[in-house]
Amino acid sequence: MNIKCFFILFLIFISTSIVNVTNAQTDSTAVSNTKDIIKDTIKTSGKILAGVKVETKDSIQKETFKFAIEASILNKSQWAQPYRYENKELKTLSVRIIISNLNDKKETFDYNLLSLLVDDKKLRVRPTGLFYYKSEKKIYLKSKSLNKNYNVFEDYSINGYQNFEEKTYKVNFLGLKKKKNLPSVKTLKKITIKNVKIGYYIDFPVDETFTHGKIYYKDKPIGFAAVK
């Protein structure tokens, strides 16, 4: 082999080596960039997931009750109810509410979570009595004086409306105030709904000019109550 051929072969070897080194550096850079992209993606995903509240099956609250508002009656005469209002000018609005239990098991319902919203007076009215009819006679469920340490009615105040809780007192069979009976805000009895649905009349204190209002459960509207 002459010197000229040897020199040509040497140049070819050098060129090939340079190409291989360049390709190796390029592949190494690509791998490094890919790793960086994966790391950035993991970090970004972690930040996104950390800022999102994921709802599990147990954290989603299911609806428990369904409501239907039926008859509404304005009772200007209170002779058939076992209590009177401290404000003698007030009348009684009785609203029949059907409550359906959507669960398969027994559920306890708190009637103190119901309220009447009177728009023109901006009042949120607390119920004062609970009854049903038996042989065309009103049967009132017993109530007791409110425990002032905890008032569930105030937990669901409506913005723009004033809570109204009228004091009542018990009367005897002649409709006269019982002795040593001071007026107080009463709390209604909780009912265990054993069947699919249950219906009671619930009393609200209103003035004589009342015509219509909205019935709320907690802070959600469930229907309307209106009288002619």
| CB 116, CB 199: distance < 8 Å | no
Domain-embedded: residue 35: no
Least-confidence region, from 23-27, 117-121, 135-139, 162-166? 23-27
Q: Which domain holds residue 81?
A: 66-226
Instruction: Summarize pLDDT for 142-166 with one digit per residue, the tens.
Output: 999 998 888 999 999 999 999 999 9
Q: Which of 223, 220, 204, 16 is nearest to 127 (CA)?
A: 204
* Phi and psi angles of residue 55, each rounded to the nearest 5 degrees, phi first: -85, 125
Neighbouring residues of 63: CB distance < 8 A, sequence distance ≥ 6: 102
- Maximum alpha-carbon separation in the chain: 139
Confidence at residue 176, expressed as pLDDT on a 0 to 100 scale? 80
In this predicted structure, the answer to whether residue 91 has a pLDDT above a threshold of 80 is: yes
Number of domains in the chain: 1
Token readout for 190 is 């909780």
In this structure, is residue 40 part of a structural domain? no
Report the pLDDT averaged over residues 16-26.
44
Query: Nearest Cα to 168, choosing from 92, 77, 74?
Result: 92
* Model confidence pLDDT, tens digit, residues 24-51: 444 444 444 544 544 454 344 333 223 3
Q: In DSSP terms, which residues pair with 107 in a beta bridge?
A: 193
pTM, two decimal places: 0.71
Q: Is residue 26 part of a domain?
A: no
Question: Does a structural domain hold residue 14?
Answer: no
pLDDT at residue 119 is higher than 80: yes
pLDDT at 51: 35
In contact, 165 and 85? CB cutoff 8 Å: no
pLDDT in tens, 177-194: 888 888 999 999 999 988
Outline where the chain has alpha helix (H). Answer: 3-50
Residue 62: is its pLDDT beyond 90? no
**Residues 201, 151, 121, 81, CA torsion sign:** positive
d(CA 94, CA 114) in angstroms, rounded, equals 13
User: What confidence score (pLDDT) does residue 24 get?
Assistant: 41
